[in-house]
């Protein structure tokens, strides 16, 4: 037999549970326990609300009876977690001709009429889904009732229990609706999440005396700094004060009338209530209150809405005032929230005219004029005009343009494409793989089907956090790296138990990473040091060298430049480990592709254009990612690695002479066979011996291998015998395990994820089942052969919380990630360690 659904009055001892009655009901009980002036309130459990949706009502006579005759009631939703939403609040249930007459006696006919009309309108629109337009404008209760009757073909109900039954039923059913279900599931709600409801006696004040309603909070929602903000509306109800122009300030304010001017004691009582809630509920609460002839009632309190920055500020402030322990402050911040502090962001609620959407490849937002080439980007920067570099895809040639631009937009590519990796390193927002952009570099236009054509110079905003490309300039909020953020990072450092290093290619990156605090450089991609104009030319000379002698001459010119780079890095890192990866990309990436560039190169090298074009063609590969790159270049053109090793050792000597003893770490990329390591190692040992003899200074170095091919993972045992460390390059390892080009995957990745072929883009989130298994296997085989082996993960995944957890559990020594991912990785590492 089905039992009658029940309800519980919220008293200090009632059995109210968050997982049965929802968050709001539980919170109200806590306020009651704190002796706050909460009006009589009843909680309906998830089961009761389910029964109501099925057509079974609790004993509403008894429920309404609890509040006394003529009481007006509010009904609010109470889901388990506020983020899961719920139907909106309905006020003034119980309003009928009789209560309206009674109210007219005490409040005057105007107040009674306004309250009654408002209720009829909300009952008609929210309970019976009638057209809101029929109830708009200056209408009286009589007209509102007539409009209701015309649509419903029955009079407006006068019985409070009938009204309440309809309100409860409509709210219970709204919760079961498909849209509501999808919305809450997107917020992480389980399929069977329940809704609780809270019925509360309304405090409606007499016309005379200080009466009205307000909402107040004690921190700024933008910064989290202490600050009373809120509004109070004399004679108002509910949250009306937040939307009505006639509302007043809470605290005395030179800009206009404030509640404190007429009711200082009540405002002080609100301050005290906030202080008590902060201490006992351990949260910053926003309070909804009413005054009835000066008497304060607290109707509701919710977690104060806040930006990412405010979220960090509040957690740190609560810990500093010993309301919560530090560990809890660390645990309260979802790691990705920090992205909202490190970069400029499009302001929440700002207008967004979305032109198209691509893959969110580097977080943050920027506004600027569209440019289509490095030349246009640098010219724009020289004029002081912010620009957005738009390319089909980027290559090392575009680096200067990327430095000059505020953000990067590419038609192709994904999260580990060249554009994305460089943008993250530079801290620039990037949207990659915006495949619906039709880019015409010759006409200098972009077209999105159905939209107007965009030309060079038109203003767009890129939101690299959402992947959206917006038309025009959007309103932004600035990053905030000091104060609470710095403190949180300090606490994370104390708590975490895995190293966090940075992928830093230039002294600028290293300096940026030092602002976040890191345990060293885990990956310095040395090729990125060759991208300035002079070095690029010498590099090209080296590539075009006819013989070993000419090649050596070019490399001799590069050597001092590299040495200076390393000296700077060592200095900046102050004795912390620096892992330098030897040259990795295919050589053709250093060559121009367009006609203009080829002609300029021919001129610089004093060669016929046809020769240059031929040579460039000869260097082209069908699949350069699997071609002549990494250690394959090291074996076939050994002079490059030799030059780099010499530069590293000479820099080591120079830096050690200045003080800090440096032990450089040299890393070989794209290894597939043990023999590759042996060959490169013996060449590097030879160079080390030469530099020692020549300088008379002794030094050591550590040689390691990047495990980024499946074979290197499988053969990690024998490779480890020649390696002090193995660093898993999960970008290439993902590419090669899946047989999926990291530059082209963007074209179909969203279709794959949408259809559930992949649960996530494996370049974004480490594929623990496949790639992860290779990593674990390689780590295990490496450590078995060499127990003191250092293990690390340095692909772009390194900054993701899931990969940090994976690496910790696998006993890795550190992860290494892009500078701007360091804070997220540190916080995640701390949370896993707590
Ligand atoms: C990798 O492959 O994971 C890696 C870190 O190297 P890169 O991205 O430079 O190929
Ligand atoms: Mg790689």
Write down the residue that tokens 């599931």 correspond to.
Answer: 185
* Same fold? 8-201, 344-477: no
418 classed as catalytic: yes
Angstrom distances, CA of residue 729 to CA of 176, 198, 414, 419, 423: 47, 54, 17, 18, 18
Q: CA angle 501-502-505, nearest 5°?
A: 140
How large is the average pLDDT for residues 255-261? 93
Name the nearest CA neighbour of 489 among 338, 605, 644.
Answer: 338
Atom of ligand 1 lying closest to residue 731 CA? 3
Determine whether domain 344-477 maps to CATH 3.90.226.10: no
Any atom of ligand 1 within 6 Å of the Cβ of 708 = yes
User: Residue 207: pLDDT band by 50, 70, 90 thresholds?
Assistant: low
Minimal-distance CA residue to ligand 1 atom 8: 731
What are the tens digits of pLDDT across the range 774-820?
A: 999 999 999 999 999 999 999 989 999 999 999 999 999 999 998 88
Task: Output the DSSP codes for 609-623.
Answer: HHHHHHHHHHH--SS
CA 335 and chain centroid, separation: 8
Whether the predicted pLDDT of 35 surpasses 80 = yes
Name the nearest CA neighbour of 385 among 362, 373, 369.
Answer: 369
Name the nearest CA neighbour of 89 among 118, 47, 64, 59.
Answer: 118
User: Residue 363: pLDDT band by 50, 70, 90 thresholds?
Assistant: confident
What are the tens digits of pLDDT across the range 108-139?
A: 898 899 899 999 999 999 999 999 888 887 78
- In this prediction the ipTM stands at 0.99
Task: Output the DSSP codes for 134-171.
Answer: GG-SS--HHHHHHHHHHHHSSPPP--HHHHHHHHHHHH
What are the tens digits of pLDDT across the range 321-362?
A: 999 999 999 999 999 889 878 888 888 777 889 999 999 988
Any atom of ligand 1 within 6 Å of the Cβ of 28 = no
Q: Any idea what DSSP says for residue 88?
A: P
Angstrom distance (rounded) from CA 571 to CA 656: 10
Residue from 629, 668, 669 whose mutation best tests the ligand 1 pocket (most atoms within 8 A of CB): 669
533 contacts: CB under 8 Å, gap ≥ 6: 400
Ligand 1: centre distance to CA 451 (Å): 37
At residue 634, the pLDDT reads 96
Angstrom distance (rounded) from CA 663 to CA 650: 12
Atom of ligand 1 lying closest to residue 735 CA? 2
Written out in words, the top-level CATH class of the domain with range 496-532+575-586+624-833 is alpha beta
How large is the average pLDDT for residues 651-666? 90
Angstrom distance (rounded) from CA 416 to CA 431: 12
User: Residue 509: pLDDT band by 50, 70, 90 thresholds?
Assistant: confident
Minimal-distance CA residue to ligand 1 atom 3: 729
At residue 106, the pLDDT reads 82
Q: From the CB of residue 626, how many other CB atoms can be counted at a distance below 10 Å?
A: 17
588 classed as catalytic: no
Query: E-strand spans in 245-381?
Result: 285-292, 295-303, 345-346, 354-357, 359-362, 365-371
Angstrom distances, CA of residue 540 to CA of 401, 480, 533: 19, 42, 11
User: What is the CATH number that goes with domain 8-201?
Assistant: 3.30.1490.20
Atom of ligand 1 lying closest to residue 525 CA? 9
Task: Output the DSSP codes for 785-817.
Answer: H-TT-EEEE-SGGGGSHHHHHHHHHTT-SEEEE
Q: Any idea what DSSP says for residue 125?
A: I
pTM of the model: 0.84
Write down the residue that tokens 């917006």 correspond to.
Answer: 470
Angstrom distance (rounded) from CA 409 to CA 462: 8
Overall size of the chain counted in residues:
834
What is the share, in percent, of the chain residues with pLDDT greater than 90?
Answer: 70
**All structural domains of the chain with their residue ranges:** 8-201, 212-306, 344-477, 496-532+575-586+624-833
Ligand 1: centre distance to CA 712 (Å): 14
Is 23 or 342 the better-scoring residue by pLDDT?
A: 23
Question: Of these residues, 274, 418, 528, 722, which one is catalytic?
Answer: 418
Residue from 425, 579, 668, 708 whose mutation best tests the ligand 1 pocket (most atoms within 8 A of CB): 708
Ligand 1: centre distance to CA 730 (Å): 7
How large is the average pLDDT for residues 370-394? 90
Which superfamily is assigned to 212-306 in CATH? Answer: ATP-grasp fold, B domain (3.30.470.20)
Specify burial of residue 253 (Cβ count, 10 A radius: 0-12, 13-18, 19+): middle
Strand partners, 241: none
Question: Which residues place a Cβ less than 5 A from the ion ligand 2?
Answer: 708, 729, 732
Any atom of ligand 1 within 6 Å of the Cβ of 729 = yes
How large is the average pLDDT for residues 302-322? 94
What are the tens digits of pLDDT across the range 706-744?
A: 999 999 999 999 999 999 999 999 999 999 999 998 878
Average per-residue pLDDT in the chain? 92
């Amino acid at each position: 037999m089905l039992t009658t659904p029940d309800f519980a009055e919220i008293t200090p001892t009632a059995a109210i549970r968050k997982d049965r009655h929802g968050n709001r009901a539980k919170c109200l009980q806590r306020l009651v326990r704190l002796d706050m002036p909460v009006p009589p309130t009843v909680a309906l459990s998830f089961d009761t609300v389910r029964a109501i949706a099925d057509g079974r009502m609790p004993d509403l006579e008894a429920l309404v009876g609890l509040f006394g005759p003529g009481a007006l009631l509010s009904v609010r939703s109470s889901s388990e977690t506020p983020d899961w939403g719920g139907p909106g609040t309905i006020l003034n249930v119980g309003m009928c001709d009789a209560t309206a007459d009674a109210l007219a006696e005490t409040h005057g006919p105007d107040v009674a009429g306004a309250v009654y009309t408002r209720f009829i309108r909300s009952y008609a629109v929210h309970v019976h889904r009638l057209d809101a337009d029929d109830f708009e404008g200056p209408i009286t209760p009589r007209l509102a009732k007539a409009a209701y009757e015309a649509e419903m073909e029955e009079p407006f109900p006068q019985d409070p229990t009938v009204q309440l039954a309809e309100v409860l039923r409509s709210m219970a059913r709204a919760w079961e609706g498909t849209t509501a279900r999808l919305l809450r599931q997107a917020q992480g709600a389980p399929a069977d999440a329940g809704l609780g409801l809270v019925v509360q006696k309304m405090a409606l004040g007499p016309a005379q005396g200080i009466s009205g309603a307000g909402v107040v909070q004690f921190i700024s929602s933008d910064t989290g700094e202490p600050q009373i903000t809120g509004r109070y509306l004399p004679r108002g109800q509910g949250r009306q004060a937040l939307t009505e122009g006639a509302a007043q300030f809470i605290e005395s304010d030179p800009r206009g009338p404030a509640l404190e001017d007429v009711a200082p004691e009540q405002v002080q009582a609100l301050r005290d209530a906030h202080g008590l809630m902060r201490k006992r509920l351990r949260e910053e609460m926003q309070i909804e209150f009413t005054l009835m002839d000066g008497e304060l009632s607290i109707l509701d309190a919710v977690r104060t809405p806040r930006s990412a920055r405010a979220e960090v500020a509040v957690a740190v402030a609560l810990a500093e005032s010993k309301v919560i322990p530090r560990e809890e402050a660390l645990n309260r911040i979802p790691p990705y929230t920090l992205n909202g502090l490190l970069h400029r962001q499009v302001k929440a609620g700002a207008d967004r005219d979305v032109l198209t959407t691509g893959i969110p490849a580097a977080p943050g937002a920027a506004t600027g004029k569209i440019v289509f080439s490095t030349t246009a980007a640098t010219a724009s920067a020289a004029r002081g005009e912010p620009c957005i570099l738009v390319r089909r895809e980027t290559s090392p040639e575009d680096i200067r343009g990327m430095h000059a631009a505020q953000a990067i937009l590419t038609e192709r590519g994904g999260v580990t494409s060249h554009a994305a990796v460089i943008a993250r390193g530079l801290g620039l927002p990037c949207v990659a793989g915006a495949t619906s952009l039709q880019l015409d570099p010759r006409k200098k236009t972009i077209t999105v089907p159905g939209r107007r054509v965009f030309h060079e110079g038109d203003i767009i905003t890129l939101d690299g956090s959402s992947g959206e490309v917006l038309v025009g300039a959007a309103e932004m909020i600035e990053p905030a790296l000091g104060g609470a953020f710095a403190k949180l990072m300090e606490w994370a450092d104390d708590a975490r138990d895995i190293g966090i290093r940075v992928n830093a290619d230039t002294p600028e990156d290293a300096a940026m990473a030092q602002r976040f605090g890191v345990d060293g450089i885990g990956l310095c991609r040395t090729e990125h040091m060759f991208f300035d104009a002079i070095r690029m030319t010498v590099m090209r000379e080296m590539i075009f060298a006819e013989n070993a002698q000419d090649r050596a001459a070019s490399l001799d010119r590069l050597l001092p430049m590299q040495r200076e780079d390393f000296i700077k890095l060592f200095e900046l890192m102050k004795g912390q480990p620096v892992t330098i990866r030897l040259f990795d990309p295919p050589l053709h990436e250093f060559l121009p592709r367009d006609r203009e560039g080829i002609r300029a190169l021919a001129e610089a090298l004093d060669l016929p254009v046809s020769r240059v074009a031929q040579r460039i063609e000869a260097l082209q590969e069908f699949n350069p990612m699997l071609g002549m790159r990494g250690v394959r270049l090291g074996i076939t053109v050994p002079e490059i690695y030799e030059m780099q090793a010499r530069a590293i050792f000479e820099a080591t000597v120079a830096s050690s002479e200045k003080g800090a003893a440096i032990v450089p770490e040299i890393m070989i990329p794209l290894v597939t066979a043990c023999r590759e390591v042996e060959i490169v190692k013996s060449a590097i040992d030879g160079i080390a011996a030469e530099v020692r003899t020549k300088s008379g200074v002794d030094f050591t170095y550590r040689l390691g291998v990047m495990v980024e091919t499946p074979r290197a993972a499988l053969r990690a045992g024998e490779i480890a015998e020649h390696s002090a460390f193995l660093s898993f390059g999960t970008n290439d390892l993902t590419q090669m395990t899946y047989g999926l080009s990291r530059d082209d995957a963007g074209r179909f990745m969203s279709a794959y994820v949408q259809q559930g072929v992949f649960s996530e883009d494996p370049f974004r989130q480490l594929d623990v089942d496949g790639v992860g298994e290779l990593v674990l296997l390689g780590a295990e085989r490496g450590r078995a052969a060499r127990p003191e082996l250092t293990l690390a993960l340095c692909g772009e995944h390194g900054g993701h919380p899931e990969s940090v957890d994976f690496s910790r559990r696998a006993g890795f020594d550190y992860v290494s990630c892009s500078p701007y991912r360091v804070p997220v990785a540190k916080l995640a590492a701390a949370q896993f360690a707590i």
